[in-house]
Structure 1
Amino acid sequence: MRHESGLVVETRGHLRLLTLDRPERRNALSSALQADLVDELLTAGTDGTRVVVLSGNGPAFCAGFDLKEIRAADDRGEPFRPPMERPGRSLFEVVTECPVPIVAAITGAAVAGGFELALACDLRVAAPGVPMGLPEAKIGMGANFGSVVLPKRIPMGIALEMLYTGAYLDSDRLDRWGLVNRLVRREEVLSAALALAETIAANAPVSVRRMKQTAVKGLELPLWQALRLDVGPNPYTSEDRKEGIAAQLDKRAPRWTGR
């Protein structure tokens, strides 16, 4: 299914593939595209999807927010709302809060809001030599999400240099700092991302959801508080725990119910 905004949605078993398909605009995030992404990600948390893969068609993964759309609104005299002061859900927040893992398949440039989108995903599979960065300081924007998240993902000094200068670093260098999970040839990026997603989807969905929510929400908490978190479904009291143990002992594939 293809939305008018340029978002292509495919269901592949327990996987959901979301593809940004505005190659003529380098997959820039228009308001409509953001809204459709938010809607699809909210749905993915309720319809049996176990993993989402996010990709982009054309030469770029995503070039960020649609600057032509923003300038047109400026020309009309419409006030610009900062990211956290808008009536709709923030796309990046929805990505981080999606209960199922999200894998970014990055074959081309991921810059500005496109880099923030990649940062919001749980895992990243990228081609070598892909430019990534936050040029917002060069155009008077704020990189609100990136300013908070990038220093949590890579060394502080490198993150601040990227933010202050707006310079791009390539995926090879960012791979060395652990920002990229898989660095593979461009033509293999999507298949590698899907294979990684399949590996995750084969595991107990209750366990994976619990792990994501615990890891994300416990990251900044003191150890004693993080260990007491009780977020998401509880795998210890689930039917899948019994099924997983039985399958292990019976030497067969588990039949997960998600309960």
Structure 2
Amino acid sequence: MGNPQRRESGLVVDERGHVRVLTLDRPERRNALSAALQADLVEELLRCAEDGNVRAVVLAANGPAFCAGFDLTEIREQDLRGERFRPPMNRPTRALFEVVTETPVPIVAAIAGAAVAGGFELALACDLRVAAPGVPMGLPEAKIGMGANFGSVVLPKRIPMGIALELLYTGEYVTSEVAERWGLVNRLVPADDVLPTALGLAEQIALNAPISVRRMKETAVKALELPLWQALRLDVGPNPYLSEDREEGIAARLEKRPPRWTGR
């Protein structure tokens, strides 16, 4: 790895070539998403979007849990102080999960421990998920009077409606093995292999033309609910067909050499 930088919020940022690794480092709080950690994640993801050197992101975590969701202790303290609670989409700052989905480079979640509540929503917002066996996943928000706003919208788009509603209504967890059968987990590997596998996927992505990958992500996300004829003509993101990288990619293939991408 490069030279990791740790923010006061508990976010560790590290460079690995064209891959940026963002690690949640609040193990004593099961990597709960405090307001400060959410803000730093949003800021760093926005930087990834602006940095042409970043071609993929890995979202990882230290400790026994991937993420336990929003920091309930922090929320409780705010309630006791009489502070107004604002729902996630009614805040003056960007909603974290929305930013994850809109970040133009692919994001791979490395899930070696429990991903529940907002932690499961964070994993759902990522493009690819690598998980260890036996990891609990789920949305217990109905058990504590929260809303699971992002999960309520996204989960029924990822798995059959009846299964999604059962998870939402009951608040019960499933294991990563079950999530893999549903297609929510891309790779199921031993815990020690989760981060290396996620990095391997990110590095494989980073070998490809960044302008093509950014176009694919934006098209896939925005075309998901559109009729076919509209989706095919969406034309969002950078246009690889008119790029210098398209010429370079074809030349490199014919000359049997690695391409030299410029992102133009």
Q: Same fold (TM over 0.5)?
A: yes
CA distance in structure 1 between the partners assigned to 2:164 and 2:110 by the alignment: 22
1:76 to 2:81 alignment: yes
Q: CA RMSD in A?
A: 0.4
Q: TM-score, normalised by structure 2?
A: 0.98
Equivalent residue for 1:33?
37
C-alpha displacement at 1:176, in angstroms? 0.5
User: What is the SS of the residue equivalent to 2:50?
Assistant: coil
- 1:211 matched to 2:216? The reply is yes
Matching residue within 110, 117, 131 for 1:105: 110
Q: Distance in 2 between matches of 1:77 and 1:211?
A: 45
- Correspondence 1:162-201 to 2 at 5 A: 162-201=167-206
Farther off after superposition, 14-23 or 148-157: 148-157
Instruction: Give the C-alpha shift of residue 46 in structure 1.
Output: 1.2
Query: SS of 1:220's equivalent?
Result: coil
Cα deviation for residue 79 of structure 1 reads 1.1
Q: Quick one: distance in 2 between partners of 1:7 and 1:85?
A: 24
- Give SS of 2:23's match: strand
For 1:24, the equivalent position in structure 2 comes to 28
Aligned residues: 259
Alpha-carbon distance in structure 2 between the residues aligned to 1:154 and 1:223: 21
Unaligned runs of 5+ in 2: none
SS for the counterpart of 2:109 is: strand
How much does 1:77 deviate? Answer: 0.4
Q: Residue type matched to 1:110 in 2? A: A
Mapping of 1:32-51 within 5 angstroms?
32-47=36-51, 48-51=53-56
Give the Cα separation in 2 of the matches to 1:89 and 1:15. 23
Shift of 1:67: 0.2
Deviations 1:26-47 (A, max 9, x none): 0000000000000000000111
Q: Match of 1:133? A: 138
Partners of 1:175 and 1:140 in 2: how far apart? 28
Question: What residue ranges of structure 1 are gaps of 5+ in the alignment?
Answer: none
Q: In structure 2, how many angstroms separate the alpha carbons of the residues matched to 1:70 and 1:27?
A: 15
Distance 1:88 1:176 in 2: 36
What is the Cα deviation at residue 90 of structure 1?
A: 0.1
2:159 is the alignment partner of 1:154: yes
User: What is the aligned-residue identity percentage?
Assistant: 80
The aligned amino acid for 2:183 is G
What is aligned with 1:89? 94
Between the aligned partners of 1:178 and 1:72, the Cα distance in structure 2 is: 38
> Which SS does the other structure have where 2:6 is aligned?
coil
2:113 & 2:94 partners in 1: Cα distance? 26
Q: Distance in 2 between matches of 1:38 and 1:227?
A: 30
Structure 1 stretches of at least 4 aligned residues deviating more than 6 Å after TM superposition: none
The CA distance in 2 between the partners of 1:179 and 1:125, in whole Å, is: 9
Q: For the residues of structure 1 that align with 2:257 and 2:33, how far apart are their CA atoms?
A: 44
Structure 2: how far apart are the matches of 1:54 and 1:89?
18
Report how far residue 83 of structure 1 moved: 1.0
- Which residue in 2 is equivalent to 1:64? 69
